[in-house]
Chain A
Amino acid sequence: MPFKEKLARSLFFLAAVLSAAVTLAVLGFMIALSLPVLKKAALWDILSAPWSPDHGQFGILAMIVGTLCIALFSLCISFPLSLGCALFIEVTRPGGPGKVLKKIVQLMTAIPTVIYGFVGVFLLVPIVREIFVYGSGMSILSASLMLGLLISPTMILFFSQSFARVPQSDLNAVDALGGNTVQKLWYVMLPHAWRGILTGIILSFGRAMGDTLIALMISGNSIALPSSVLDSARTLTAHIALIIAADFDSIEFKILFICGITLYGMTSCGILLARGLDRKPR
């Protein structure tokens, strides 16, 4: 019997090591495969130069800027919306309507990203083109609007969860002192829940940066540096998807691993930050 126990224990341990190895293997592959490029060109040149393979320039600055622009802008759209919805679920209408909204939000997490992209191409892009009469409509604005919708469930569920964790006794105290809802929110709920809110923002920012399909389908994929929200832009993720067909031995292809490692680094930082926030005693 003890042998069986030991065997099971080591099998479980082996599985955990195997899964953890995947995380490290992805990082290892990205580093190992981007080293040859880094030997030829300085990292700074790659990060700051424009992308024009015909002239021997393989910079990914425009893609990094594109990624950050689209992710930030979608966050700006989604944050107030998500906060409002979380307030609706937990504070202003916690009964029937709030529960219904929560179910809808949970269902939203099941909508595939390619669906958002598909509807974006055939519904949102023409609308943006008509309203602003500028370019093709494939722009940072279109991508950010769709991406904002994609990341809002993550934020809403995180926000409402951290609002729900505010101790009921504190809320009762505000009521007993004759405080109104706004005071309750401002003086009790936000000071309690800000960690959760920040965690939700960081995680959904990571999701916005990591998403491929929406940016690939409706941001236009131009390699120029964007100068307004109506300009087209290319994200790192879309860049990987677009260049993958290139020759394996070309520099274009090898640069993809730098893109990959940049994405890996940015999202891991987000995860570390979120974990740090979550771990602190409340």
Chain B
Amino acid sequence: MTNAFWDKLLALFSWACALLLVGAVSVIIGFLVVKGYQTIHLELIFSTTRPLDALLFKQQVFDGLFPAMVGTLFLVVLSMGFALPVGLASGIFLAEYAPPRVKWIFSLLFDVLAGIPSIVVGLFGFSITIFLHHSFSDRIFPCLLISSLSLSFLVLPYIIRTTQISLESLPLQVRLTAPCLGATKLENIFLVLLPSSLSGIVSGIVLAIGRCAEDTAVIMLTGAVATAGVPRSIFSSFEALPFYVYYMASEYADPLELTKGYGAALILLILCAGLFVVAYAIKTRLTLKTPYRF
């Protein structure tokens, strides 16, 4: 065999793989778009309720996606509320304070945490609920609070990792300038290091939001249900978009419900892809617009 033959074969193989992958993804997205685009209008979300009444929580929406979307929004806000402060602080500790050996142990534990399957995190959240139910109050059930806590465990390692990496990849000049001028370590971190690594950290946070919005395994074990309406408090069960999609795929009663499933799946896909694009834009935009070049 000549060498050129093998080269051509390699090129052919890589082209075939690339086309196959892109083809498969386009089929998946295309299938959802073709089946779902007709269902996407206000009625899918608000059903027969007036949108303004629903948005002001004056009136419950039945048969619409609105409660599921609000549920997902609450879930994201709450779990990021838990995960962000702890994650950012841990990342700062790992990057700026931890001695090598401590850093090794912590990053090992965070890597393991990142690898735990989400259903196991959900099972953990569920068993905490049972534990609380037995030992404190029998009014504690799987609810929005437990779900968002469990979700925050799931995204914690991502936030820690992106914070740590963004801080560590800053050039030495940036790191040393402020201390040379007399700044303390804390001033250096908050006034120089964090602002300079903001784009990396923020895009990591947006990706973590995406993970919160898409995860189904955790919430199906910790309080997501098919019909709950807009959650009244953090101790009530709730609806969520990904759970709605899962539920429709297995339990749909008639073709009309199924088309709503397609609509919900398409909305979820657009939401997650949108978050990804935002994260990407933040990363490139902020990097490009940084006034100082090092």
Stretch at the interface among B4-12, B39-47, B61-69, B172-180: B4-12
Once the chains bind, are B32 and A115 in contact (CB under 8 Å)? yes
Contact B242 A114 (CB under 8 A): yes
Which residues from chain B contact A88 at a C-beta distance below 8 Å?
14-15, 17-18
Q: Closest Cβ of chain A: how far from B79's Cβ, in Å?
A: 13
Contact with A along B91-131 (1 / 0, CB 8 A): 01110111000000110111111111111111110111010
Q: How many residues of B contact A (CB 8 A)?
A: 86
In the complex, chain B residues whose CB is within 8 Å of the CB of A104: 21-22, 25
The smallest C-beta distance from B151 to any residue of chain A, in angstroms, reads: 12
CB distance from A230 to the nearest CB of B (A): 20
Hey, which chain B residues are within 8 Å of A209, CB to CB?
A: 117
Nearest-neighbor residue (CB-CB) of B108 within chain A = A275
8 Å CB interface, A57-94 against B? 80-85, 87-88, 91-93
Is B124 in contact with A29, judged by CB distance below 8 angstroms? yes
Query: With A19-B87, A110-B210, A118-B245 in contact, is A13–B97 under 8 Å at CB?
Result: yes
A267, B116: Cβ atoms under 8 Å?
A: yes
User: Is B246 a contact of A111 with CB atoms below 8 Å?
Assistant: no
Residue of B nearest to A210 (CB): B117
Shortest distance from the beta carbon of B41 to any chain A beta carbon, whole Å: 20
| Cβ contact within 8 Å between A116 and B242 | no
Q: Are A211 and B117 in contact (CB under 8 A)?
A: yes
Question: Does B285 have its Cβ within 8 Å of any Cβ on chain A?
Answer: no
Q: Is the interface of A mostly helix, strand, loop or mixed?
A: helix
Interface size class of A (residues with CB under 8 A): 35 or more
Residues on A with C-beta less than 8 A from B3 are 180, 182-183
B249-293 residues at the A interface, CB under 8 angstroms: 249-250, 261, 265, 268-269, 272-273, 275-276, 280
In the complex, the answer to whether B32 meets A119 with C-beta atoms within 8 Å is yes
Mark out the residues of chain A between 94 and 127 whose CB falls within 8 Å of any chain B CB in the assembled complex. 97, 101, 104-119, 121-123
Contacts of A29 in B (CB 8 A): 124, 127-128
Choose among B88, B185, B272 the residue that contacts A111 (Cβ–Cβ < 8 A).
B272
26 A-B pairs within 8 Å (CB atoms) are namely A13-B93, A16-B93, A19-B110, A19-B156, A20-B105, A29-B124, A84-B16, A92-B15, A105-B21, A106-B276, A111-B272, A112-B216, A112-B242, A114-B216, A114-B246, A118-B249, A118-B265, A122-B249, A203-B115, A212-B118, A240-B221, A241-B220, A257-B123, A264-B116, A267-B115, A268-B115
4 pairs of A and B residues whose beta carbons are closest in the complex = A84-B17, A210-B117, A15-B89, A112-B214
Given A268-B116, A270-B115, A275-B111, 9 more pairs with CB closer than 8 A: A5-B185, A19-B113, A23-B109, A101-B18, A104-B25, A111-B25, A112-B272, A114-B246, A121-B250
